[in-house]
Amino acid sequence: MIGTVLSHLLRRKLRSLSFPAQRGRDAKATTAEALECFELGAHAALTKARPQAIAALELRIPWYRRFFFWEGCACGLSGRHALAPWGNPDLARMTSRYRAMHFTGYGFWNGVARVYHLPRVPLTRERWAVVPDYDRLSPLIAGGAAFAITCAHGVLDSAVLERVKVAGNPDWTRAAFHGCGRALWFLYMHDVGLLEAAIEAHPEASSELIEGVGVAIAFTQLSRPRRILATIDRFPPAMQPGLLRGAGICLYQSIEEDPAIRPFISRIKEQRLRQAHSLCERAATSVADGPGWYWGCDAKLRSLLPDLSPSERPGAA
């Protein structure tokens, strides 16, 4: 009963999200598809659908949209678990795949809960001690929460940026900024001018915001790699390395989420995307697993695919 009530509540909030600054029909269709898949997953988890029913639902969804489905499932698991006095929602997960999307979905629920004053899933370390990849991927919880908070507010201003910060945890705060960047893409999809202005308004978070936008550009256009590059090329040259890092993270993580996706990623012909993926894979496999993996990987990737130096930027003397 409580799961059905929460499902209706979440569905209403998701459908109330507005993205008036997006440009073009393609943006509206892309957003609708992503939200529909997310909602489908959340409803299945909140209403305790059987594993075979969830497997059947997944097969109805194109491979490049299944990330949103499993993120929604994880959000639903969090909603069900928020009132539990023990453990964590990962104990009830229905697949061993899509680990990053699960952590992101757990955070998404907490972000929604913060905005609408609902119960949250506790993040105390002892609650999550039995989850083997918690140390590696848990910063994504902060990113998922920040994504939900930013989309709910419909803008990324100083108040929102302050709200998503994680007190006493600068690594999670930076991961939250990644989530804000992903939200910016949904808020201003294909409007490069608005995206550029939103990023430049927050110089203290600009690197993370740019990478987050790049991740979202790639995830929302994963079946059309040529369009990923065309979108990145519309941004100022100084932002393009960070956007490519984000795209590389998406391509690498896609295969980590579901190895069956590898053939699709391997068929990408665009050289800059292939290079970004290769560099991200190199960075990820060169960093020791554990609490520092998330930002160790990012730091390594930034060294392999660095931002333009001031002298390399257009207009430099």
Is 276 part of a structural domain of the chain? Answer: yes
| 122-132: pLDDT as tens digits | 999 899 999 99
Is 311 part of a structural domain of the chain? Answer: no
State the chain's mean pLDDT as an integer. Answer: 95
Distance CA 264, CA 266 (A): 5
- pLDDT of 34 reads 98
Is the pLDDT assigned to residue 25 strictly greater than 90?
A: no
What sign for the dihedral angle of Cα 205, 142, 292, 213? negative
Contacts with 77 (C-beta within 8 Å, 6 or more apart), sequence order: 45, 89, 90, 92, 93, 102, 105, 106
3-state helix, strand, coil in the chain (%, to 5): 75, 0, 25
Instruction: Specify the DSSP class assigned to residue 222.
Output: T
pLDDT, average across residues 15-38:
95
Is 316 part of a structural domain of the chain? Answer: no
Token readout for 20 is 């008036």
- pLDDT of 255 reads 98
Is 78 part of a structural domain of the chain? Answer: yes
**Farthest CA pair distance, the chain:** 66
- pLDDT of 99 reads 98
Is 312 part of a structural domain of the chain? Answer: no
Domain count, the chain: 1
Token readout for 21 is 């600054």
Q: Closest by alpha carbon to 85, among 111, 118, 122, 117? A: 122
Is 127 part of a structural domain of the chain? Answer: no
* Cα 261 to chain centroid, rounded: 18
Is 77 part of a structural domain of the chain? Answer: yes
| 254-302: pLDDT as tens digits | 999 999 999 999 999 999 999 999 999 999 999 999 999 999 999 999 9
Is 225 part of a structural domain of the chain? Answer: yes
Distance CA 87, CA 264 (A): 37
| 88-104: pLDDT as tens digits | 999 999 999 999 999 99
Number of residues in the chain? 317
Contacts for 84-91 with beta carbons within 8 Å, 24 or more apart? 86/127, 87/127, 88/121, 88/127, 88/128, 88/131, 89/121, 90/128, 90/131, 90/134, 91/130
**Domain coverage including residue 67:** 2-121+135-306
- pLDDT of 86 reads 87
Distance CA 292, CA 172 (A): 11
